[in-house]
Each structure stands twice: as structure tokens, then as C-alpha cells.
Structure 1
Amino acid sequence: MAGFGFGWQGDPTTTCCPSILNATVVEGEFRLGLGDISVSLLGQIKDNKILILQAPRPVDMSDQWLEVGNIPSFSLNKSFEQQRLEATADIYQRQNAALHQLNRALTTSPTPLPNTYFNLYIQDTPVSRSWSHSRPAISPSPKHIFTIPHFSFWAWNQPFIRSIPHAAAAIANIEASLPFDLKDPRAVWRGTAWFNNGASANPRSRQELLRVTKDAKWADVQALDWVNSGGNATNALMIEHFCQHKYIIHTEGVSYSGRLQFHQLCESVLLSPPMEWMQHTTHLAKPVYSSVLLGRHQEAYTDSVATKKLQNGYPSSTATMAWPVTVGPGEANMVFVNPNWSDLQATIRWLEDHAEVARGIARRQRALFSEGGYLSPAAEVCYWRALVKGWSRVVRIDHAIRGGNEPESFEEFVTRTKAVRERH
């Protein structure tokens, strides 16, 4: 598995990042009914073509849909209807991107895929019996959530992000000319300050990160200064420029963070609180806890470390449920830090003092996700095909769905919704 072309070859049962799919398939058969599709897109795959049977209309979208829309554009000076229209436009973009991704997987498949119905739900917080961009990392969780590749594998309508294929090419140029030891040693982060999950290990994670790093010489951490109704930010970095730093800080939001996979393309050390959401390749991360690096763990320098709860409650029981086994610094490809960021500076200082360890963690990350091909276009379409096959084996469709609305072709649907999006 090498490169970013479509020449990547793999058996979808063994190489297309299948373990998170397999974990969902083994949950067993389930029935998809009308109650599951009230605010999601119901589609059908028939003879390797996509048909749209139902899609949420703006009038159907409650205020919960604002969380997945253009969050930075939220303003008390705007009417709810204005916010709804802006959120609708963003939702259509993400929805259509997923459909384009699926269509690409179908049209390039060497063999026909099974006919089936699917339930596409692109809101940040997933629901059962759906295709969603992430699922909770801990158990119990909503059942039968099939994680789909992020919409940025097609395109993201942020000018400083664009798409994974574009970023991958730009990052390759950076990594070819900038050795790890010559990268900026400041830990870097950009994000929307208040975009947190109230049920997470640190409900004020982003605000706390800004507080801990305020005026710090060892960090380049800034809240994004949004302009043009969230269309851009004056202090944004091009996503590939994060790779010019030795250390990249990762934060989750309402649920997953769409930037994670971009950062995993870098030969940089990714530092994050224990992740609580799983995207389709998140399970490939091999974290080492900061407590191991800092010598606060009795197995600090072994390469297979069963996580143990420490005196101060870190890692938490939630973290150890999600990540029951981590690795030592000689095998890790990222670092988990305390969710309250209290050991962030000490961890970075330790990595600076142990440059060979830092270099190895960074190298293994890029070797897996970029050179290993797991974020390549070929691996993405391979994953989509495995997803369709796995879903079709366990989903059972209510007759009420089968006899529903007159279908609309994929091409007609994306053209119509693109026109709606451009008007807003």
C-alpha cells in the first residue's frame, strides 16, 4: 500500500481498515424503519447506481441541525431562519460530498456491489442504524453505526483545508524538504474556542487549552478569528502548514474532529486527550500516555503497556474502556495527554529532551497513514465497497421504506441541492 494513486491493491476483508466495520457487522442483523430516517437521507444502491428516496428538507431541520452547519457563522444578530439557511447549505455540501464518494466507489468497482438501501446521517452526533462520520469510542454506544470516510476525501468548503488529496500532495512536498529536527518546536493548534462536547472528559477542553498556552513561548495556539460568516478566518493556517511544526495539538469538538486525518499525514508528533470518537481509521492510532513518558507509570519504558488508572484519575475509566491497551514510546504513533492539559508543557519538554523518541513517534505516524496508504483515494474507495458489503449483510428493510417515494437519481439530486446551496 503506497502512494496516493488508485493503484493501491487490497482485499477489503483484510486491508481496508476493516476492524471497525467488523465490530459493527458482528452486532448482528437489524431492521431499518421509517422511524430511523426522519432527519436523514434514505438512499438505494441498485445495479451499482445511487437513487435518492428521501432527504431532509430545510423545514424538517430542527435547531439540532445547526450544530453540523456552519458553526462559526452563528450570531445573535442573525434570525433563526438565516442561521437555518446557512446550516442547510453546509449540510447539503457534506451530504453531497458523501454521495459523490459513494458514487466514485461504485463506478470504479471491478465487480458489482450488492443492491441495498442506506441511511446517511451527517450530523456530528450519530444515531443508530445509520452511516455516519464517527461513532462513540466507548461501549455501550448506539448500535449499528457504520462509519464512513470523512467528506473531505471529496472536498471541504474551507479555503484553508480544501481536501485530503490536495493536502496530501502539499504535505508530501513539505516533508520532502523539511526534516523533523528542523521543524518549528512550538506546539500548534487552531480552532473554534467554544466548540466542545459537554459530556466529554473536559467539557471546556478548548478554552482550557487556550488558557494553559496563553503567552507560552513553546506554543502557537490561537482561537480562529472567523470572518465572512464563517467562510474564512484571518489567522487560519493552511492545513498542510501544520506539518511544519514538530508538535500538533488535536482536540475533538461536539464529537469527532475532521482535522485528525489531515494531521496524521504529517511527520509530526500528534498530542491529544484520549480520543472519545472513532472515525473510520482512528483505531489505527497507537497512543502512548504522557504519564508513561513522564515516568509516572511503573511500566514507563516497555513497548506493551496495559493502561492503569493513576492516583489523579488519569487515565480515566472512560479512556481505558476506549483504549484498553496502549503501547510504549518505541511503538507509539501519537501521544495521549491529560484532558485538562496540565501535563502538556511537561510532555513537550520531555519529547524535546528525548529527540529520538519524538522523531520515532512522528515517523511512525506518517509511515502508517501516508506511506501505508490508509488515507489514499484507493483505500477510501476500497473501504466504501467493504462498507456496502457489510451493511447489506445485516440490514433488513421495512416494507414501508421499500414502497415509499419515487426515487431521484444521484445526478439529479446533487445538481438540485447544489443549486439550493449556492443560493444561500
Structure 2
Amino acid sequence: MAGPLSLLRLRRGISLVGLITALCGGAVFAIWYGMNSDRDYIHPVLTHLIPAGHCACQTSTTFQCSSCLTCAKDAAPDQSTDPAWKFEYPRDARDEALSHAKCQASFPGLFEDVQRGAKHWRSHGGIATEDLDAIKIEQGMARAFITHGDLHVVTARSKGEDHRRKILGVLGSIHRALAADPGRASRRDIEFVFSVEDKVDDVTNPHNPVWVFSRIPSEEGVWLIPDFSFWAWDNPNNQLGPYDQVVDRVKRLDIPWSEKKPQLVWRGKPSFAPKLRRALIEAARDKPWADVKQVDWSTGANVLKMEDHCHYMFIAHVEGRSYSASLKYRQACNSVIVAHKLQFIQHHHYLLVASGPNQNYLEVERDFSDLGEKIEPLISDTEAARRIANNSVKTFRERYLTPAAEACYWRSLFDGYSGVWNSTVDSWSESKQTERGLRYESFVLLESPKMFEFDATTAPQGTA
């Protein structure tokens, strides 16, 4: 029989275990709350304790290239360019049929990631059909091929409407670039896999030759493509439409620089990337130069139309779960984009310039610790800010984000990829005695449910 002293020790031990369990449970709940809450304010201790959130991003990307915007003048001449050609806005902005030579002359620096991808795969012996066969097609991915200049869909998997629409957006952009291609009939056949997920590691190994919307520097096997919203962005929370239509709307509704509010604007959900976004909220809290607020899509609280962002001199850009497709919409405004050091690279990011005469955005630290010291001089000297905003418009809205630039990028990708594609493309399946792929024109006519788990060799074809 246990003595009184032993019972006392046992009770104390049980109480201590209970206390530790309660403290650990409370800490876990507090961190969970900090990561998932969209309240305007949570205690700074929680902001400090929570991890990087849904994207574990502690590092950033420093862009270094041989022919991007600031160093194009120092690069060796490209023999494929047209020396007599000069891109003019708005004359050429919607010309999706520019020749290869005119594309190269019009958009130096835009094709950096294509060249990087081609160099990487050339050093690895190129890409073969077997490499694609080894890639598991997860939800949010598709496999397709181009033969005789026509696009065919082999396999597509979607988890609901969001995936389906994004896959259609990518396919639509590819088809548009092909339809306008002056050399379409003689284009070499290629086969490829692409993903519409936010991050590479959501669906595949970064060493696979998958076409993706964004990557981090270590993901060298993938190839960057323009994201789905260049075609159109439409979901229950927003109906923005095609990107060039948004730009037209923004230009029509923008206001003169002198009438813009000398403030930094941002609207978003903190829980999408709590470490980053709460750092912005806290850095801007109670500052006279800041209009930074969280949104509530269910009630519409603090929601601001895209074109209304343009009424501010400064627009903050923050990455979300990975890349944020909203950057190009903010770049449609004649305003200064204020962005933290980015981790994820998109196809046009090589044209971002953080300093010097061609500066086209304001870069701050990832924790926004230097936001005040960077933005306050520009609040005081709005002409300096205006020069940055004008550079942004000239670089992105009026050149590198035009329909012409997008089409040129796609065809450059086709060229770069075909240069390391070591296989032929079979358009016919001997084993199943049917076409391996469904033409894009037919694919877009399918009922939505038939696109969710699509396989061309099992879909009925050729029947009347």
C-alpha cells in the first residue's frame, strides 16, 4: 500500500503532466490560430512564433541574367534578331504573329528561362518520351503534343472546376500562339506535360521536365510558362476576364499621377501566407502613408476592385502560397509596385529592376523591416516615385506583358524545348487503334465532367 508521501508525489506528477499538456496544447492552438486567422490584429508574439505559413519560404531570389533588361545593352548581339525592327506601342502590342526575328528584337531578356531550361536539359542529354512516361499525371496536370502545328490533348486530370478552367486557359494560350505562328506548318513536333498547381512539389519532382507557372531557383528541371490568367481569370470571387481586357479597363479608369493618393495600398487574406502578410500589416499599421487591410470575401469587407488600386501611388505585392498571379495586374497600373524579395520566379520576373535608371519597382526585405525607410523618401519626393511608376508601365504594361510578348514567349518555349526533345511524336496508338490525342478544338467542346479524368485513347473518337 502506497504511503501518503508516494501518493502526494503521484498527484504532483499527474498535475505537472496535465499542466505541460495544457501548455503544449495552448501553444499549438495559438500557432494554428495565428496561421489561419484573417483578423486584422493578432499579438506580435504570435506573428513572431508562427512559421512561414503555407509556403515555407525564408529565402529569396536574386535575379542574375546575361541579357535581361538592365544588361541587354552589354550582351552579345543575337544573330536571329531583325536589326531594322523596332517594337512600337501600341502598334505592335496585339500583334501575336511577330516573326522569330521580330520577337527577339522586341523583347530582349524575356526568354531567359527558356534558354536556362534548354541549357539544363542539353547537359542532361535531352528529353525523351520515356522521361514523360515516368511522370505521374496528378490532378492539376495534363499531357499534350504539337504535331504539324496542331495541339492535341493526351491526358488531363482536374480536381473540380478550378483545375479544369486553368488547364483550358493554358491550352487556349498555346493554341493561340500556334494559330498566329508564321512558321506553324514547319514547326517541329514536341510532346510535353504541364501543371496548373501553385507549386512544383504539389504534383511532381522538380527534376522532371514539366511546364509550370513558377519555380524556385533550385527547381532546374522545370520550364516556366505564362500562367492561366493571361487567357482569362474567372472564379466565384472575381470575374476579371482576359488579361489584356483588364489592362484596357485599367487604362480607361486610371487617374493622373497628381490625383493619386500618396499612400501604399494592399488588400488580401493574411492566412494565405501569414508570416509575410502579417509582417506587411504590422509594418504599415497606423502609418499615414498606408492603406493596408485584410479582406473578407464572404462579406465583401475591405474588397477593392483591381482598377481602384491604381488610384494609389504605391501598391504592395506579397507572395501567397507560392507565386502570386496578381503581380501583373498591379503592373497594369501607373503606380509604384512595392514587393518584398521574391522567392518564386515567373516567366517575366527577369525584367524586374530594383535600382538604377531603369528601376521599375521598389524592393524591400521579406519581413518588411525596411518598408518605412524605403517608402518615406518617395512619399516626400513623388517625382522620383513617378519615374519608377513610368518605368514599370513602359517595361511591363506596354511591352513585356502585351499579347505580342506572350505569344512570342510561347513560341520561344516551343523552339527551346524542341531543341532538346530527342523523340518523335506518335499521333496514333497502334495498341488501341485510335488517335493518341484529341485535337484542342474538339477537347474544348467536351462536357465539363469528361475533362476531369480525360484520356484520349479511351474517349470515343471518329464516330458520327
Q: Deviations over 1:322-358 (max 9, x none)?
A: xxxxx33x33111111211122123221111222221
In structure 2, the partner of 1:243 is 310
Measured at CA, do residues 192 and 8 of structure 1 come closer, stay the same or move farther in structure 2, by a change above 3 Å? farther
Q: 1:399 & 1:166 partners in 2: Cα distance?
A: 36
Q: Are 2:117 and 1:24 aligned?
A: yes
In structure 1, the partner of 2:283 is 212
Q: 2:145 aligns with which of 17, 22, 44?
A: 44
Query: Does the 8 A contact of 1:248 with 1:270 survive in 2?
Result: yes
In structure 1, the partner of 2:74 is none
Q: 2:268 & 2:137 partners in 1: Cα distance?
A: 32
In structure 2, the partner of 1:94 is 166
Q: Which moved more, 1:271-280 or 1:402-411?
A: 402-411
Matched residue SS, 2:325 = coil
Measured at CA, do residues 417 and 216 of structure 1 come closer, stay the same or move farther in structure 2, by a change above 3 Å? farther
Q: 1:114 aligns with which of 181, 184, 188?
A: 188
In structure 1, the partner of 2:444 is 414
Q: Are 2:232 and 1:155 aligned?
A: yes
Q: How many residues align?
A: 337
Q: 1:157 & 1:226 partners in 2: Cα distance?
A: 15
User: Which amino acid in structure 2 is aligned with residue 357 of structure 1?
Assistant: A
Matched residue SS, 2:291 = strand
Matched residue SS, 1:381 = helix
| 1:211 Cα deviation from its structure 2 partner | 2.7
Q: 2:421 & 2:322 partners in 1: Cα distance?
A: 25
Matches within 5 A, 1:293-304: none
Q: 2:382 & 2:158 partners in 1: Cα distance?
A: 53
Q: 1:36 & 1:401 partners in 2: Cα distance?
A: 19
| 1:264 Cα deviation from its structure 2 partner | 1.6
Matched residue SS, 1:345 = helix
Q: Are 2:245 and 1:166 aligned?
A: yes
Query: Does the 8 A contact of 2:309 with 2:330 survive in 1?
Result: yes
Q: 1:235 & 1:7 partners in 2: Cα distance?
A: 38
| 1:277 Cα deviation from its structure 2 partner | 1.5
Query: Does the 8 A contact of 1:160 with 1:236 survive in 2?
Result: no
**% same residue:** 27
Q: Deviations over 1:375-414 (max 9, x none)?
A: 1112211111111111111133599998588322213323
| 1:214 Cα deviation from its structure 2 partner | 3.4
| 1:15 Cα deviation from its structure 2 partner | 3.8
Q: 1:336 & 1:351 partners in 2: Cα distance?
A: 13
Structure 2 residue ranges without an equivalent (≥5): 1-86, 201-205, 453-464
Q: 1:108 & 1:399 partners in 2: Cα distance?
A: 22
Q: 2:154 & 2:96 partners in 1: Cα distance?
A: 34
Measured at CA, do residues 22 and 157 of structure 1 come closer, stay the same or move farther in structure 2, by a change above 3 Å? same
Matches within 5 A, 1:77-92: 88-92=160-164
Aligned-pair RMSD on alpha carbons? 2.6
Moved over 3 A (4+): 7-10, 12-16, 214-217, 396-406, 417-422
Q: 2:302 & 2:451 partners in 1: Cα distance?
A: 26
Q: 2:134 & 2:263 partners in 1: Cα distance?
A: 49
Q: Deviations over 1:128-157 (max 9, x none)?
A: 311111121x3xx12232211121111101
Larger-gyration structure (1/2) = 2
User: Which amino acid in structure 1 is aligned with residue 396 of structure 2?
Assistant: F
In structure 1, the partner of 2:365 is 338
